[in-house]
């Protein structure tokens, strides 16, 4: 069990009338890669700034190793931040940028130079050392920003959407670099992003935020398998959602009547919802298939719809199948798959899935689970 | 090539040269005639001589006035730059009640007709018994130069991403050190420009000095004095030197500002 390194306790932050963060409590353990994810304006950058001491919370405590640090100013905190816009000093060379934090700590020139050289080499940019940062590519600048922080040997590193400005290929390689570094150095990374792919690819644990409140705080796997509420389910993009009303339930399954017919949904372990309850069914996109139902198939849900769109994602595509006027399901479709015949936009198809790939979510946005593992 | 044709470009250029020549011809004439030997010069000059420059150099009262102008300007430049610069920084970094008013106040002096300013200073400084002294000139000049310093540094600060200061804090620099190592370093070229421009403004300033300096005459005041009493080409010599000096200073300032674009950082 690793120690709690950093803790936000009941933090509230307002900007005039707007509440940016509301009653937020987060714990961060040593050595973990934590991602804070959410749509624009959800309060994730504000949270990061409060951790760094660049913003002060209106209520609540920030604790570092158990000690309250609200009153510590930004320059006393030793929690460096990799900025979204990098914030490199344009009038300093690469090397002097990297050395800046050390210089502020009073480290002598020789040691500074050695440490900077080490990190520049480690990140593969040592030949840029004396260059002006304007002459560097986006990826190189990213690394300078990283080196500038890592040279300070921090326990915690904050990253504010650092990869958002990079092209996809570079983003993937930077992601690999970051995860590799984090594992090797054992530094706690707190990584803010609005990209679900990045968070799922890199983090040990993800906190999803909306309107200043935590929606779910769990590992990527758990979020993917058991979204806490409708917002999370929708945000991951991995679920098809449809409203329904409970008809009956057994130990294994629940039957809900929806606008596309009666659906069979796997029961959540403890809850046995009453008949008549309004619910939301979340069906994994991954579990949906199109084609014709054959005998002996495990899938026991089937609806008919029309293909209205197709998204290419390499060797597979995502089909958008319109079931009713207001319900469109996403279905994964792999080209070259023997089971499925070639389909096109405009075709009428059957979509089917097994009840185990569907689950119930409460209709409201309240969080059903906040535990994390 | 731009939409404007090469031919109309040439016409525009010619027009521009004519206008500039027209504006500068008094100065150019003064420059030309400062090298003439005769007291009442005619065009063209028959004999060239540097006598008038020698005469100017020999006039001790003139040199005293020059010294006073230089002294005041040398004190006004850093004072106006520091006060104006700090005012610009405050406006850049903070939000406070009266911010807009303070900014307007700081940038206001050039909008007031200089004669009115001069009379106002005369009235105010005489209450403080600072008229007929260089202290009074120093104060008045600082006030009129401050807006220029403020505007120049404000311009440079607008090119500075506010996140850079925050980044410096985050990396362990306290507010003062971040200011020193980031803001000041970034503004350094413009601080240099501000020092030069404010120096020139103070050095060349006539009206207020004329009202306020009394017997402690600055150079422009002394020159008017000479013009009133005698019409000597020595004045041409003085004018040529100060014009060259002013022109050189402004050119250097402009070159530095042009170079600044290269270190601009915007997002």
Domain with CATH 3.40.50.300 in chain A: 4-225
pLDDT of A148 > 70? The answer is yes
User: Residue A334: which of A302, A282, A283, A288 has the closest Cα?
Assistant: A288
State the complex-level ipTM. 0.83
Cβ pair A87:B161 closer than 8 A? yes
> Side-chain half-sphere of A129: how many Cα atoms within 13 Å?
14
Q: How many cross-chain Cβ pairs, A to B, lie less than 8 Å apart?
A: 63
Task: Check residue B140 and give left, alpha or beta (phi > 0: left; psi -120 to 50: alpha).
Answer: alpha
Beta pairing class for A205-210 and A33-37: parallel
Testing the interface with A: which of B166, B172, B184 to mutate, by most A Cβ within 10 A? Answer: B172
For residue A339, what pLDDT is reported? 57
Place of tokens 């535990």: A371
Cβ pair A74:B177 closer than 8 A? no
User: Residue A142: which of A159, A121, A156 has the closest Cα?
Assistant: A159
CA gyration radius for chain B? 23
Tens digits of residue pLDDT in A78-131: 999 999 999 999 989 999 999 999 999 999 999 999 999 999 999 999 898 899
Cβ pair B169:A54 closer than 8 A? yes
User: Residue A64: which of A34, A26, A35, A13 has the closest Cα?
Assistant: A26
- Helices (H) and strands (E) counted in chain A, each on its own, are 8, 20
Cβ pair A89:B163 closer than 8 A? no
For residue B261, what pLDDT is reported? 63
Mean pLDDT is lowest, of A27-41, A119-133, B63-77, B249-263, for B249-263
Give CA–CA dist B171/A151, Å, rounded.
11
Neighbours of A132 (CB within 10 A): 14
Kindly state the average pLDDT of the residues A224-233: 87
CA distance B250 to chain A (A): 24
Nearest CA in chain A to B162: A87
Residue B228 main-chain phi, psi, to 5 deg = -65, -35
Both tokens of residue A315? 């060797």
pLDDT of A365 > 80? The answer is no
Give CA–CA dist A321/A227, Å, rounded.
23
Mean pLDDT is lowest, of A117-126, B51-60, B66-75, for B51-60
Domain with CATH 2.40.50.140 in chain A: 230-362
Both tokens of residue A151? 């040279």
CA distance B161 to chain A (A): 8
The answer to whether the CB of B80 falls within 8 A of the CB of B149 is yes
A122: helix, strand or coil: helix
A6 pairs with which residues across the strands?
Answer: A28, A64
Assign B41 a pLDDT band (cuts: 50, 70, 90): confident
Tens digits of residue pLDDT in A162-206: 988 888 888 888 999 999 999 999 999 999 998 888 898 899 999
CA distance B153 to chain A (A): 17
pLDDT of A10 > 50? The answer is yes
Give CA–CA dist A76/A71, Å, rounded.
10
User: Residue A136: which of A174, A74, A90 has the closest Cα?
Assistant: A90
Nearest CA in chain A to B178: A104
Cβ pair B172:A152 closer than 8 A? yes
For residue A347, what pLDDT is reported? 83
From chain B, pick out residues whose CB is under 8 angstroms from the CB of A78. 172
DSSP A128-140: GTTSBGGGS-HHH
Record the pTM.
Answer: 0.82
Kindly state the average pLDDT of the residues B250-265: 77
Tens digits of residue pLDDT in A238-283: 888 888 888 887 777 888 888 888 888 887 655 667 778 788 888 8
For residue A235, what pLDDT is reported? 86
CA distance A47 to chain B (A): 15
- For the four alpha carbons of B13, B14, B19 and B20, in that order, the dihedral sign comes to positive
DSSP A239-269: EEEEEEEEEEE-SSEEEEEETTEEEEEEPPS
Q: What percent of chain B has pLDDT over 70?
A: 96
Both tokens of residue B208? 């207020």
Residue A80: which of B163, B170, B267 has the nearest Cβ?
Answer: B170
Testing the interface with B: which of A16, A77, A83, A89 to mutate, by most B Cβ within 10 A? Answer: A89
CA distance B194 to chain A (A): 19
A29: helix, strand or coil: strand
For residue A352, what pLDDT is reported? 83
Both tokens of residue A46? 């504000």
Mean pLDDT is lowest, of A39-43, A334-338, B196-200, B258-262, for A334-338
The answer to whether the CB of A155 falls within 8 A of the CB of A186 is no
| DSSP H helical ranges for chain B | 6-33, 51-58, 60-93, 99-107, 114-127, 134-157, 162-170, 175-178, 185-204, 207-212, 219-229, 234-260
Give CA–CA dist A210/A220, Å, rounded.
17
From chain A, pick out residues whose CB is under 8 angstroms from the CB of B264. 90
Mean pLDDT is lowest, of B34-48, B67-81, B167-181, for B34-48
pLDDT of A373 > 60? The answer is no
CA distance B187 to chain A (A): 10
Return the CATH superfamily for domain A230-362: Nucleic acid-binding proteins (2.40.50.140)
Cβ pair B163:A85 closer than 8 A? yes
Both tokens of residue A342? 């070639």
The answer to whether the CB of A192 falls within 8 A of the CB of A45 is yes
Nearest CA in chain A to B186: A91
Both tokens of residue A298? 């495990």
For residue A369, what pLDDT is reported? 42
pLDDT of B264 > 60? The answer is no
Give CA–CA dist B77/B69, Å, rounded.
12
Beta pairing class for A156-160 and A81-82: parallel
pLDDT of B214 > 70? The answer is yes
Q: What is the mean pLDDT of chain B?
A: 89
Full set of structural domains in chain B with CATH: 59-263 (1.10.3720.10)
> Side-chain half-sphere of A367: how many Cα atoms within 13 Å?
15
Give CA–CA dist B71/A188, Å, rounded.
59
Testing the interface with A: which of B93, B161, B169, B170 to mutate, by most A Cβ within 10 A? Answer: B170
CA distance A142 to chain B (A): 14
The answer to whether the CB of B142 falls within 8 A of the CB of B80 is yes
Give CA–CA dist A36/A229, Å, rounded.
17
Cβ pair B185:A105 closer than 8 A? no
Kindly state the average pLDDT of the residues B7-14: 88
User: What are the angstrom distances between the C-alpha of A197 and each of A36, A105, A206, A282, A309?
Assistant: 13, 37, 12, 20, 22
Cβ pair B161:A81 closer than 8 A? no
From chain A, pick out residues whose CB is under 8 angstroms from the CB of B170. 52-54, 74-75, 79-81
For residue A244, what pLDDT is reported? 85
From chain A, pick out residues whose CB is under 8 angstroms from the CB of B184. none
Place of tokens 């449809």: A242
> Side-chain half-sphere of A293: how many Cα atoms within 13 Å?
16
A327: helix, strand or coil: coil
CA distance A205 to chain B (A): 25
pLDDT of B177 > 80? The answer is yes
Strands (DSSP E) found in A123-204: 156-160, 188-193
Question: Could you tell me which residues come within 8 angstroms of residue A237 by beta carbon, excluding any fewer than 6 positions away?
Answer: A196, A285, A330
Mean pLDDT: which of A124-128, A254-258, A304-308, B75-79 is highest?
B75-79
Beta pairing class for A348-353 and A358-361: unpaired
Place of tokens 């700034």: A49
User: Residue B205: which of B147, B141, B142 has the closest Cα?
Assistant: B141
For residue A296, what pLDDT is reported? 52
For the domain made up of A4-225, the CATH class stated in words is alpha beta
From chain B, pick out residues whose CB is under 8 angstroms from the CB of A104. 168, 171-173, 177, 181
Residue B171: which of A73, A85, A101 has the nearest Cβ?
Answer: A101
Exposure class string for B69-99: b at 16+ Cβ within 10 A, else e? beebbebbbbbbbbbbbebbbebbeeeeeee
pLDDT of B58 > 50? The answer is yes
> Side-chain half-sphere of B199: how many Cα atoms within 13 Å?
19
Cβ pair B167:A101 closer than 8 A? no
Cβ pair A83:B163 closer than 8 A? yes
Tens digits of residue pLDDT in B122-171: 999 999 998 888 999 999 999 999 999 999 999 999 999 999 999 999 99
Kindly state the average pLDDT of the residues B23-34: 87
Burial of residue A147 (number of CB atoms within 10 Å: 0-12, 13-18, 19+): buried
The answer to whether the CB of A249 falls within 8 A of the CB of A266 is no
């Amino acid at each position: 069990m690793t120690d709690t390194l950093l803790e936000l306790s009941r933090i509230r932050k307002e900007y005039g009338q707007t509440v940016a963060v509301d009653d937020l409590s987060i714990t961060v353990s040593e050595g973990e890669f934590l991602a804070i994810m959410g749509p624009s304006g959800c309060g994730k950058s504000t949270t990061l700034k409060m951790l760094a001491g660049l913003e002060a919370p209106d209520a609540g405590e920030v604790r570092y190793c158990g000690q309250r640090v609200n009153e510590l100013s930004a320059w006393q905190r030793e929690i460096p931040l990799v900025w979204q816009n990098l914030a490199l000093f344009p009038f300093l060379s690469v090397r002097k940028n990297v050395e800046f934090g050390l210089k502020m700590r009073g480290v002598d020139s020789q040691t500074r130079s050695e440490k900077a050289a080490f990190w520049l080499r480690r990140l593969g940019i040592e030949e840029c050392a004396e260059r002006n940062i304007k002459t560097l590519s986006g990826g190189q600048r990213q690394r300078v920003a990283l080196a500038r922080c890592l040279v300070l040997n921090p326990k915690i590193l904050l990253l504010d959407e650092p990869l958002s400005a990079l092209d996809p290929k570079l983003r993937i390689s930077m992601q690999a670099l970051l995860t590799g570094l984090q594992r090797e150095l054992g530094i706690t990374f707190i990584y803010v992003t609005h990209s679900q792919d990045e968070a799922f690819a890199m983090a040990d644990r993800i906190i999803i935020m909306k309107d200043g409140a935590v929606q779910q705080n769990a590992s990527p796997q758990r979020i993917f398998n058991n979204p806490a509420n409708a917002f999370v389910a929708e945000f991951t993009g991995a679920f098809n959602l449809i409203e329904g009303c409970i008809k009956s339930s057994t130990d294994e399954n629940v039957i809900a009547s929806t606008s596309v017919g009666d659906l069979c949904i796997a029961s959540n372990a403890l809850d046995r919802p009453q008949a008549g309850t309004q619910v939301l069914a979340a069906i994994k996109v991954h579990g949906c298939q199109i084609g014709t139902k054959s005998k002996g198939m495990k899938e026991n849900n089937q609806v008919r719809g029309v293909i209205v769109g197709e998204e290419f994602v390499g060797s597979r595509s995502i089909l958008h199948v319109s079931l009713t006027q207001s319900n469109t399901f996403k279905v994964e479709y792999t080209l070259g798959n023997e089971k499925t015949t070639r389909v096109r936009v405009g075709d009428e198809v059957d979509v089917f899935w097994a009840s185990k790939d569907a689950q119930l979510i409460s209709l409201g946005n309240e969080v059903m689970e906040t535990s994390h593992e | 090539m731009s939409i404007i044709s090469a031919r109309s470009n040439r016409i525009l250029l010619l027009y521009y040269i004519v206008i500039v020549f027209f504006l500068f011809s008094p100065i150019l004439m003064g420059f030309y005639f400062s090298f003439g030997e005769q007291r009442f010069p005619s065009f063209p000059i028959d004999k060239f001589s540097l006598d008038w420059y020698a005469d100017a150099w020999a006039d001790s009262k003139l040199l005293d006035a020059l010294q006073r102008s230089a002294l005041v300007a040398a004190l006004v430049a850093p004072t106006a730059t520091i006060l104006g610069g700090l005012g610009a920084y405050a406006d850049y970094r903070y939000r406070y009640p009266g911010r807009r008013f303070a900014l307007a106040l700081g940038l206001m002096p050039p909008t007031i007709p200089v004669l009115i300013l001069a009379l106002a200073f005369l009235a105010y400084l005489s209450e403080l018994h600072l008229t007929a002294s260089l202290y009074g000139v120093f104060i008045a000049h600082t006030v009129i130069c401050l807006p220029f310093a403020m505007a120049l540094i404000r311009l440079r600060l607008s090119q500075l991403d506010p996140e850079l200061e925050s980044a410096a804090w985050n990396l362990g620099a306290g507010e003062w050190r971040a200011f020193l190592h980031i803001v000041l370093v970034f503004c350094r070229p413009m601080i240099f420009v501000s020092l030069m421009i404010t120096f020139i403004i103070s050095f060349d300033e006539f009206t207020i000095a004329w009202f306020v300096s009394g017997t402690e005459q600055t150079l422009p005041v002394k020159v008017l004095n000479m013009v009133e009493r005698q019409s000597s080409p020595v004045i041409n010599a003085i004018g040529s030197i100060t014009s060259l000096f002013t022109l050189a200073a402004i050119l250097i300032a402009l070159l530095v500002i042009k170079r600044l674009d290269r270190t601009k950082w915007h997002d």
